[in-house]
Chain A
């Protein structure tokens, strides 16, 4: 998946323009690498044809792992390893364990899902990915299209412009991630003129 690839990047400044553009680009058969937006755009995942996330299923599996861990650990401790008489209750005191079971279920589900989410999004300290446009975190919706051998760049650029892109360029960039803090050739804002 990863490696140095060639991309055509088009920036939009309006959701209302972005949606038909996404539709047209897909219809024309181009492969959209991703669309970077400053905020979550409702329905964009659907427009891009992304499949439903399976993170719920992962969450369910983490949750039942938590339930099983809590119940099996407590039953082992209180019936086998260290049976204590607590208020004359039976050693296998299920009602008393439910709150802990619940907490562990939630904890496993929550932590597991956050970690899974970070893994899927490749989010971690010192994991760096190429930024196609720094305005994607400010006011631009940035559509990135992956070029293949058959892609005609000029044609694609004018196609994007005709669909309302304000700023179109071609970039050769690393599509995966690398370890580091900044883009290799990136200038920090504070080093830029006029900051």
Chain B
């Protein structure tokens, strides 16, 4: 049991291939899109130039992939708090995914700093100082009212603190888990004590997660792209989006390792539960999608409908994101709903992998349509540059996960609930 998993050469080839392709894409953007040039900002005209595209794409990918790796730690913490036992046989997989949070958190923070300190008003309109100057013709009463929250200092401090605490608390959870590998079987008293410590750290993590991912962080990072508009569903929507993608990522790695003959205690019973999470949270995501849409559609207030007019357009003229907007709903709701509905589908390794890939791609597109209309407007592209940057982040995740999986035992063999997980039966 003490043998470590060896990464097959194909895995390494793909990891480095994706990272190199991604770096080439970023380098291409860096040279071609003049990221430090500022777009000529004409009043009332929306839509950035290529430098906007560079930052918007980086923002989309870094935030999306950071939040889905962070969702893996959320999964560990909520199952710990619920005293769940079934996930123990595959717990090292979400741990490995969450071990990428420090890397992606650092990258995201650098990108956010560059956007905010670089005064990218094309991404975050609220960075424009003249909006808060009562003597200026640009003075904006609404944004001035939000200034106490939406200002660069608070943005940077809170983003930094959030990323730091995700990393720190996540690290604590992983350390607790890894510590058991060398210490042999725990007796009842030790197990209780160990579970208590896990419980405490998880509670802090989950509460802080609620204060960040489920509320403030999506307001800051994503919703403030359209600073006049707001939706009370937005953070939940982002959370659902990233959590379901996180579950899909866990499922894909579990299936991959199982195909390699690892994770001896993971059976289709565990896969069934992961599949249920993917199914349920796809429906939950659609519920929030619909809530946000229907309430705004129903009350029909100009300052609220603006968000959807930027995307779908109006009855007379369809908007540039019309296709993507509805594609999003089909791929993230209808497809998982119909494909994963049957019990047999959730227990089928191929089907879960396929739907997992579909969900990860679908929510990447979801983030695309959350960010691009407010920054690029009609000029947004879905070209090799966009996919290339995504490859970079996927490569980094594969690298980090591979590193964690090869360094540690794939089964947490001294977890007090391991037996429960081995005999798990849905």
Contacts and interface: CB of A to CB of B under 8 A. Distances in A.
Chains A and B belong together in one complex? yes
Contacts of B290: 95, 98
Nearest to A98: B290
Contacts of A56: 342-343
B401 to A, nearest CB: 35
Given A56-B343, A87-B300, A43 B425 contact: yes
A96 B425 contact: no
A67 to B, nearest CB: 12
Interface stretch (B109-117, B145-153, B242-250, B291-299): B291-299
A187 interface: no
B37 interface: no
Nearest to A46: B425
Contacts of A88: 300
Given A42-B425, A43-B425, A87-B300, A96 B343 contact: no
B341 interface: yes
B293 A95 contact: yes
What DSSP secondary structure best describes chain B's contact surface? Answer: helix
Contacts of B294: 95-96, 98-99
Interface string A78-108: 0000000001100000011011000000000
A182 interface: no
A3 B290 CA distance: 55
B311 to A, nearest CB: 15
A95 B425 contact: no
Contacts of B341: 60
Contacts of A43: 425
Nearest to A57: B342
A43 B290 CA distance: 40
Interface residues of B, number: 10
B301 to A, nearest CB: 12
Interface string B184-220: 0000000000000000000000000000000000000
Interface string B280-297: 000000000010011001
Interface string B259-282: 000000000000000000000000
Interface string B323-341: 0000000000000000001
Contacts of B297: 95
Q: Which DSSP category, helix, strand, loop or mixed, fits chain A's interface?
A: helix
Interface in B317-361: 341-343
A52 B294 CA distance: 39
Interface string B213-236: 000000000000000000000000
Contacts, number: 19
Contacts of B342: 56
Contacts of B293: 95
Contact of B298 (A42, A52, A60, A96): A96
Nearest to B315: A90
Interface in A56-71: 56, 60
A96 B298 CA distance: 8
Nearest to B299: A87
Among A52, A56, A95, find the residue whose CB has the most chain B CB atoms closer than 10 A: A95
B307 to A, nearest CB: 15
B323 to A, nearest CB: 18
A99 B298 CA distance: 13
Interface string B382-414: 000000000000000000000000000000000
Nearest to B293: A95
Nearest to B295: A95
A60 B297 CA distance: 30
A126 B300 CA distance: 55
A99 B297 CA distance: 14
Contacts of A60: 341
Contacts of A87: 298, 300
A136 to B, nearest CB: 24
Contacts of B343: 52, 56
Nearest to A86: B298
Contacts of A42: 425
Contacts of A96: 294, 298
B285 to A, nearest CB: 15
A10 B108 CA distance: 68
A87 to B, nearest CB: 7
A95 B39 CA distance: 38
Interface string A132-158: 000000000000000000000000000
A96 B293 CA distance: 11
Interface string A168-185: 000000000000000000
Nearest to A60: B341
Contacts of B300: 87-88
A105 to B, nearest CB: 12
A106 to B, nearest CB: 12
Nearest to B297: A95
A99 to B, nearest CB: 8
B322 to A, nearest CB: 16
Nearest to B294: A95
A87 B299 CA distance: 9
- Name the 6 nearest CB pairs between A and B, nearest first: A95-B294, A95-B297, A98-B290, A95-B293, A96-B298, A98-B294
5 contacts: A42-B425, A88-B300, A95-B293, A95-B294, A98-B290
Given A42-B425, A52-B343, 17 more contacts: A43-B425, A56-B342, A56-B343, A60-B341, A87-B298, A87-B300, A88-B300, A95-B290, A95-B293, A95-B294, A95-B297, A95-B298, A96-B294, A96-B298, A98-B290, A98-B294, A99-B294
